[in-house]
Chain A
């Protein structure tokens, strides 16, 4: 009897939960880091916030616990009429491709990867261009002639960031040395602030006095240790200047928030276009942050140099090399 009752209520639950939203409401699926990773996903979340505050519309969110859930989550949203469905992170590419072919009438967005389908808009970023700006500023701020880089994992997307950073550093002075470490090879590589702190400490002990992080949650520890040991940190993805005011040289922003916001707005206005969007410095997809928290750290000379690099990249006079086909960096 009890079992019967349980089953009955389970079926009621089904009926309740298969209800669709009244009008098309956007949905977003964050990658495994979670929306408060202080970094990449959080940048996307800021785009969501901006959209909800400006339009008053709500957005359904889902944080993946493991990548296998991605396709399920995307299908769930699509089948219940949410649109556009935004997937954050390159890990979701295959899931987006599958869901997009299953729901050809629904618009999908993927950030950080390209999915070629008639109903998918892909946003990718030229991280190396942003990292180049970080490199220029780091090299100019460094007094020791040594700067540091702490990455999450030794995978192409992080190598590309390192490659741009090295090019920026070397553009200021060939003799400036770049120390670099990767935090690990397990999923914890991007979520381990303690490990980030250790690496930053060892780099500081080896003479680095400006350290950039490209390690998501691990990078929070890099910035913390940099502040504790009196060297400068550089934030990435989101604006992290405010984490340790006066001790974060700048933040190299990857404007995931703009990609998210733009795609929501475009869909609302009926101007949503599938296809590839490459966001570099020129498109405003990568930039560096100057605000009250770091104004005292940036000399007018540095500001000029960074802006010169920025406009050089925008006009195409300055080319930041990407990784070679074999994954190596043309500059070292």
Chain B
């Protein structure tokens, strides 16, 4: 299945749309089986995600998380690496954010803290990706295995630190103290005069995420390093032959990937929760894989996929609230179907489409 067999609009537009439609059709069947009206369910889902300011705010808030974790997976994809460790890298990224905020929040305003928090998040996330990257590059330990294992190590480390070292003493909840204003990113409500996102915690991190998207696009398609990453991903042997260092490429790519995942903590910790707490990542790292797959590892695709998953998260919450028979497990089923069709069954419609467009091209050639 080579690139270039299909027009770009089919590859990046029609195929995701078909996958999505198939996912929703199957979900609709499931909804029918449990005795609800699928049309009504879709209405509530859309309304919950986009129908009012606060819903939009939450959709964008979740999307911000997915943009970061999606970008992280995408960058690694380009080098042919499958970084499953976004979950752990984001978790440890929270540590970087928290250190910056706890140190600075009482003395300086937020815009002074922010660069330190960003650097902290990126460094911490990158550091967590470094060991798996190093092992992959020099020892051939498979990065899928090591990054998964590092997710568990991250969880243990964070529980240990929050309970025994940096947690607030005497609190039953394993978390740090709440940051003062100097450790809080402004909400979009605060600096966009006409915005009304209600209590949704969508914050400046969204802008940061979009800047990161542009940065990733620049990196992958407009720099020498990006060229090396793509060459290495397309054919490692040829890349080495061309003088690209595999160790350097793997390590640098994973550091960037881990750093992006770590920056997800900006949104959750500095943007929304204003304290470091256990389990704040709760699956965003894993969903990032689906986001990257669906977005074809391209920043624009990732933004669209991130918004879609944000809608599913927020609309899903409203849905199980409005229609109690649609339990939270049903929402997981719907989300799972979207991931299944968009990710795993990505190639289902492709052969048929390739055939269709090849035929059309041939016909056009004959008549022309």
B128-158 at interface with A (beta carbon < 8 Å): 151-152, 155-156, 158
Residue of A nearest to B154 (CB): A185
A75 to B317, CA, bound (A): 13
Chain B residues touching A, majority SS = helix
- The chain B residue sitting closest to A324, CB to CB, is B170
CB pair B47–A155 under 8 Å, yes or no, is no
**Is there an interface contact between A13 and B43, defined as CB atoms closer than 8 Å?**
yes
> Does A303 lie at the interface of the complex (its beta carbon under 8 Å from any beta carbon of B)?
no
Task: Check A10 against B47 for contact (C-beta < 8 Å).
Answer: yes
Instruction: Identify B159's interface contact among A9, A63, A73, A185, CB under 8 A.
Output: A185
User: A113 contacts the other chain (Cβ, under 8 Å)?
Assistant: yes
Complex Cα spacing A65 to B43, Å:
21
Given A153-B159, A155-B159, do A62 and B320 touch, yes or no (CB 8 Å)?
yes
Flag if B328 contacts A34 (CB, 8 Å). yes
Counting CB contacts under 8 A, is B52 at the interface? yes
User: Are A65 and B152 neighbours in the complex by a CB distance under 8 Å?
Assistant: no
Is the Cβ of B46 less than 8 Å from the Cβ of A10?
A: yes
A156: CB under 8 A from chain B? yes
| 9-residue interface stretch from B113-121, B171-179, B212-220, B236-244 | B171-179
CB contact between B331 and one of A11, A65, A90 (< 8 Å): that residue = A65
- Check A72 against B58 for contact (C-beta < 8 Å): yes
**Is A229 at the interface (CB under 8 A from chain B)?**
no
> Is A14 in the interface zone, CB < 8 Å from B?
yes
Taking the complex as formed, is A154 at the interface, i.e. its CB lies under 8 A from any CB of chain B?
A: yes
- The complex places the Cα of A9 from the Cα of B39 at a distance, in Å, of 10
Task: Confirm or deny: B234 has a beta carbon within 8 angstroms of a beta carbon on chain A.
Answer: no
Nearest CB in chain A to that of B162: its residue: A155
Residue A184 interfacial (CB < 8 Å):
yes
* Chain B residues with CB below 8 A from A184, complex form: 152, 155
For the complex, is A312 an interface residue (Cβ under 8 Å from B)?
no
With an 8 A cutoff between CB atoms, is A117 at the interface? Answer: no
A154 CA / B151 CA spacing, docked (Å) = 17
Interface residue B356 (Cβ < 8 Å from any Cβ of A): no
Contact B328–A156 (Cβ < 8 Å): no
Greatest chain B CB density within 10 A among A13, A34, A93 is at: A13
Contact of A174 with B by CB under 8 A: no
Shortest distance in angstroms between B172's beta carbon and chain A's nearest beta carbon? Answer: 5
Q: Is B322 an interface position by the 8 A CB rule?
A: yes
- B163 close to A69 (CB less than 8 A): no
Residues on the A chain within 8 Å of B320, using CB? 62-63, 65
The contact string, 1 if C-beta is below 8 Å from chain B, for chain A 14-54, is 10010000000000000000100000000000000000000
Q: Does B279 contact A (CB under 8 A)?
A: yes
How many of B's residues come within 8 Å of A, CB to CB? 41
Residues of B within 8 A of A68 (CB): 272
Give Cα distance in the complex from A157 to B170, angstroms: 11
B164 within 8 A of A: yes
* CB closest residue in chain B, given A188: B155
Say if the beta carbon of B7 comes within 8 Å of chain A: no
B185 on the A face (CB < 8 A) = no
When C-beta atoms are compared, the residue in chain A nearest to B200 turns out to be A72
Q: Are A113 and B173 in contact (CB under 8 A)?
A: yes
Min CB distance B279 to A, Å, is: 5
B265 at the interface (CB under 8 A from A): no
- Contact partner of A73 (CB less than 8 A), chosen from B160, B171, B173, B321, is B321
Contacts of B44 in A (CB 8 A): 13, 17
Docked complex Cα distance between A61 and B325 (Å): 11
Beyond A73-B321, A156-B174, whether A63 also contacts B328 by CB under 8 A is yes
Q: Assess whether A271 is interfacial by the CB under 8 Å rule.
A: no
Asked whether, in the complex, the Cβ of A325 is within 8 Å of the Cβ of B321, the reply is no
B40-69 contact mask (Cβ, 8 Å, vs A): 1 or 0: 100110110001101000100000000000
* A118 contacts chain B at the CB level, 8 A cutoff: no
Chain B neighbourhood of A71, CB < 8 A = 199
Check A155 against B43 for contact (C-beta < 8 Å): no
B5 within 8 A of A: no
**B344 proximal to A (CB < 8 A):** no
Q: Is A57 an interface residue (CB 8 A)?
A: no
Contacts of A10 in B (CB 8 A): 43, 46-47, 51
Q: Which of A106-141 contact B (CB under 8 A)?
A: 112-113
A91 and chain B: residue at smallest CB distance? B173
Whether A14 lies near B51 (C-beta < 8 A) is yes
Q: Quick check: B40 and A13 within 8 Å, CB to CB?
A: yes
Judging by beta carbons under 8 Å apart, are B328 and A327 in contact? no
Known: A63-B328, A155-B172. 14 other contacts (CB 8 A): A6-B46, A14-B47, A14-B51, A62-B320, A65-B316, A66-B283, A98-B199, A102-B199, A113-B173, A156-B173, A156-B174, A185-B152, A185-B159, A325-B169
The 7 A-B pairs at the shortest CB distance, nearest first, are namely: A185-B155, A185-B159, A185-B156, A65-B328, A13-B43, A186-B155, A10-B47
Q: Could you jot down 16 A-B contacts, CB within 8 Å?
A: A9-B39, A10-B51, A13-B43, A61-B324, A62-B324, A65-B316, A65-B320, A73-B317, A98-B199, A154-B163, A155-B159, A155-B172, A185-B156, A185-B158, A185-B159, A186-B151
Residue positions of B touching A, CB distance < 8 A: 39-40, 43-44, 46-47, 51-52, 54, 58, 151-152, 155-156, 158-160, 163-164, 169-174, 199, 272, 278-279, 282-283, 316-317, 320-322, 324, 327-328, 331-332
